[in-house]
Amino acid sequence: MDIKILLINDKSGEADLLKELLSADPSASYDTTCINRGYEAFEYLEHGRVDCILLDCRLPDMTGIEFLERFAGMIGHHGIPVVFLTGSGAEASALEAMKKGASDYIIKDLVNASSLRRSIKYSIEKKLSEKKQREQQELINTIIDNIPNPVFYKDRNRVFLGCNKSYEAFFGVPKSELTGKTAYDVFEEEFAAMLDQMDAEILFRKAPVSRDFKLRTPDGDERNIIINNAPYMNAAGEVSGVVAVITDITERKKTENELRKLVAAVEKSPSTVVITDSKGNIEYVNPKFTRLTGYSFEEAMGANPRILKSGEQPAEYYSELWETISAGRDWHGEFHNKKKNGEMYWELASISPILDEEGKIVNYIAVKEDITERKNAEIALKIREEDLSRKNDIMEKDLELAQITQNALLHMEIPELDFIRIDYRYKPLGSVGGDFFNFYPYIKDGFAFFIGDVSGHGVSSALFLSLIKSSTDRIFRKHAESPSEYISALNRDLKGFMTSHFITGIYGIMRKSGETKSLTLANGGHPYPVIIRSNGDIEIIKSGGTLIGILDDGRYIDFTVEINSGDRLFVFTDGIPETENDKGEMIGFEEGLADLFKSSVKDDLSDYLDEIMRRVIEFRSTRPPGDDIIIIGFEIL
């Protein structure tokens, strides 16, 4: 392919000479276009392909330096090399041209075919090399910026060279304020000293170093982190600097602490706790079990709970128990069992299946109380009081477990899909809430979601979440493809349990078929979804349906709308439209809701959600929140 040369020179003699020298080059073929003026050259560059520019130092309408200054601002032309043509004794002008972006310069009085060829080849290869370096650097920066953990990097003198966006968000320090500083300039002395010590160790050992640390962020939060520092080497195998990755383990620490409390509660529980595998073989017993039955921990491991069987209860009693728990339901009842020494005793038992993420039973857990004395009529009143106290203790521990369980239910991974981006915000009214949602990335050509809200809020509503989670997962396996059948099945499933509560909910499916994208949903009395079209129009999807868990014959239908690239869909619980301010005014489900979404628009979906939450709080003013809030945003790519 010919090398396209744009020769900008108004002196016909010089231009002819340069074209003659180019045509004499046997190693390459040049297609040379000669233009006399700078502005004409800019017009040509807007439409023509150019591989290299030969620019004279002085043109009729501008100088070569002025051309370079304007050329530097042209979008999309930074990859075209410029060779600056100047006369003898004008080296200063040539150096200025190099500063303005020229790749090379030639003294016209000394030019020959060989030097012209070398300059053009050198300039083209230089620009290609610069482009490749820029692309590689952009790739590295993109990779680093998309690492979810905070990352920073320093030179061997321990001076910061940069950081990623997660670092900026975590520490509240922009990259521009970090670069060029040391740890002592930006961190508290204790943390800075630790980083300095790690850097020294890395420079000495030339190997990664890891430390745990507790620090306070600029907004006052105390965070537990693990910082992993590693050296990066130059071509000579010497340490050029340090890359550090920070992992925030604050929530993990909290979970570990909660688990320790739970383990301590089970270990010290006045009730016996027995965990078996799916076949009924014992995997764990707590100390109360060994004290009550006389069987040691080692004797119980691998055995079947039938070792306690006394023969006092019929085989049908145990068959009904096994049938109930094998079907995924809880069983409650009493056992008349026999200890290792032959002594008989009574137990009040609750046995529940433990399901894995696919809904398969993997374990059973039995919590049992020794009610032998309660069976004794002479001390019935005393036993009832003790039993009430024990049940109260168990309830408090169960509530702690409920909070942990709820957090686990709601803090799920967001599906990654090629045609949609998803993000959400969750704000419970108290420690636990009654709002719930789930993503199902298993639908053909798309994915499904469910959002629900148990009436009321706080502990009483939150206790239903495990039931809802179990029901929705089970129903998904049978009715995943039909939103109306999904909501109808959920209504039937929950009807017998919702004596004092009800549920609102939406089940929706988003699909992509070629370039066509659609949303199909069924609504069970839930706030209407909102679509923000790419042109800024707002649509409220008025999709009615009866409340869930109230009527035997609830009515639910499918609604389908087309969605396009650039559109955004929002589903949310009634904690947003029912927010009230100090005057008793409510955001509402129509005009006020539309105004909220219109005034909160941001380019980034995450920023959009944050702005909605901020404006809800701003509207509420000093009035305390009245309900849990979940809002999920979907951005069509």
Q: Is pLDDT above 70 for 305?
A: yes
Query: What is the reported pLDDT for 398?
Result: 57
Looking at residue 179, what is its pLDDT? 93
pLDDT, position 536: 93
Question: Is pLDDT larger for residue 389 or for residue 368?
Answer: 368
pLDDT for residue 455:
80
In contact, 244 and 229? CB cutoff 8 Å: yes
Q: State how far the Cα of 168 lies from the Cα of 176, in Å rounded to an integer.
A: 10
SS3 462: helix
Asked whether 616 and 596 are in contact (CB, 8 A), the reply is yes
495 contact partners, CB below 8 Å, separation of at least 6: 549, 550, 551, 552
**382/233: higher pLDDT:** 233
Read off the pLDDT of residues 148-157 as tens digits, 9 standing for 90 and up. 999 999 999 9
Per-residue model confidence as pLDDT tens digits over 552-595: 888 999 999 999 999 999 999 999 999 999 999 999 999 999 99
pLDDT of residue 395: 58
For residue 1, the model assigns a pLDDT of 66
What is the rounded distance in angstroms from the CA atom of residue 165 to the CA atom of residue 144?
8
Predicted pLDDT at 430 = 74
- Per the model's pLDDT, the better-predicted residue between 26 and 352 turns out to be 352
The pLDDT score that the predictor gives to residue 400 is 61
pLDDT value of position 529: 96
pLDDT band at 38 (very low <50, low <70, confident <90, very high): very high
The pLDDT of residue 46 is 86
- CA-based nearest residue to 421, from 541, 566, 539: 566
Per-residue DSSP letters for 587-626?
--SSHHHHHHHHHT--SSHHHHHHHHHHHHHHHHTTSPP-
With 60 as the cut, is the pLDDT of residue 378 above it?
no
Report the pLDDT value the prediction gives residue 533, as an integer from 0 to 100: 96
468 pLDDT band (50/70/90 cuts)? confident
**What's residue 630's pLDDT?**
95
Most confidently modeled range among 101-115, 444-458, 594-608: 594-608
Task: Report the interhelical angle of 483-494 vs 465-479 (nearest 10°).
Answer: 140
Assess contact for 427 and 611: CB atoms under 8 A. no
Beta strand spans in 249-326 (E): 272-277, 282-285
Q: d(Cα 575, Cα 503) in Å, to the nearest integer?
A: 14
φ, ψ of residue 235 in degrees (nearest 5): -65, -25
Distance between CA atoms of 451 and 437, rounded to whole angstroms?
Answer: 4
Furthest CA-CA distance within the chain: 126
As a whole number of Å, the end-to-end CA separation of the chain is 38
Phi, psi of 193 (to 5 degrees): -65, -40
Q: Residue 408: its pLDDT value, please?
A: 63
**pLDDT score, position 566:** 95
The answer on pLDDT for 405 being more than 80 is: no
Q: What DSSP element (H or E) covers 553? A: none
Q: Pairing between strand 568-572 and 530-532? A: antiparallel
Residue 573 CB contacts under 8 Å (≥ 6 apart), including other chains: 435, 451, 453, 504, 526, 527, 627, 628, 629, 630, 631
**593-631 CB burial, b ≥16 within 10 A, e <16:** bbebbeebeeeebeebbebbbebbeebbeeeebebbbbb
Confidence grade of residue 609 (pLDDT, cut at 50, 70, 90): very high
Kindly state the average pLDDT of the residues 290-319: 92
Question: pLDDT category, 495, cuts 50, 70, 90?
Answer: confident
CA gap 621, 96 in Å, rounded: 60
* Residue partners of 311: CB distance under 8 A and separation at least 6: none
Q: How buried is 452 (Cβ within 10 angstroms: 0-12 exposed, 13-18 middle, 19+ buried)? A: buried
Mean pLDDT of 445-455: 90
Q: What is the mean pLDDT of residues 24-36?
A: 88
* Span 459-479, average pLDDT: 81
222-234 b/e (C-beta count within 10 Å ≥ 16 → b)? ebbbebbbebeee
Using alpha carbons, select from 117, 124, 118, 108 the residue that is nearest to residue 50. 124
Query: What pLDDT is stored for residue 406 in this prediction?
Result: 61
- Decide: 367 and 272 in contact? Cβ < 8 Å: yes
Band of pLDDT at residue 524, cut at 50, 70 and 90: very high
Confidence of residue 464 (pLDDT cuts 50, 70, 90): confident
Return the axis-axis angle of helices 250-267 and 380-410, rounded to nearest 10°: 160
> What is the distance between the alpha carbons of residues 636 and 615, in angstroms, rounded to a whole number?
24
pLDDT at 294: 94
The predicted pLDDT at position 328 comes to: 92
Output 438 or 133, whichever has higher pLDDT: 438
What does the pLDDT average to over 509-532? 93
Q: What is the 3-state secondary structure (H, E, C) of 468-531?
A: HHHHHHHHHHHHCCCHHHHHHHHHHHHCCCCCCCCEEEEEEEEEEECCEEEEEEEEECCCCCEE
Q: Whole-number mean pLDDT of the chain?
A: 89
Instruction: Give me the pLDDT at residue 218, please.
Output: 77
Look at residue 475 and tell me whether its pLDDT is greater than 70: yes
Cβ atoms within 10 Å of 468's Cβ, excluding its own: 24
This prediction's pTM:
0.41
Q: What is the pLDDT of residue 323?
A: 93
Residues 327-343: pLDDT tens digits?
A: 999 999 999 999 999 99
Provide the pLDDT for residue 134: 80
* Tens-place pLDDT, residues 75-87: 766 689 999 999 8
pLDDT tens, position by position, 127-137:
888 888 888 87
Mean pLDDT of 455-481: 80
Q: In a 3-state reduction of DSSP, which class is residue 130?
A: helix
Burial environment of residue 537 by CB neighbours within 10 A (0 to 12, 13 to 18, 19 or more): exposed
DSSP code, position 379:
G
Give the pLDDT confidence score for residue 137 in this predicted structure: 79
Provide, rounded to the nearest whole percent, the portion of the chain with pLDDT above 90.
Answer: 59
Over residues 474-501, the mean pLDDT reads 89
Q: How far apart are CA 486 and CA 449, in angstroms?
A: 11
Coil, strand or helix: which one is 239? strand
Give me the pLDDT at residue 143, please: 86
Q: Cα–Cα distance between 310 and 316 in angstroms, integer?
A: 14
Percentage, residues of the chain above pLDDT 70: 93
* Burial of residue 463 (number of CB atoms within 10 Å: 0-12, 13-18, 19+): middle
- pLDDT range class, residue 401, cuts 50, 70, 90: low
Give the integer Cα–Cα distance in Å for 460 and 283.
Answer: 33
Residue 217 binned pLDDT confidence (cut-offs 50, 70, 90): confident
Tokens for 493? 């499933």
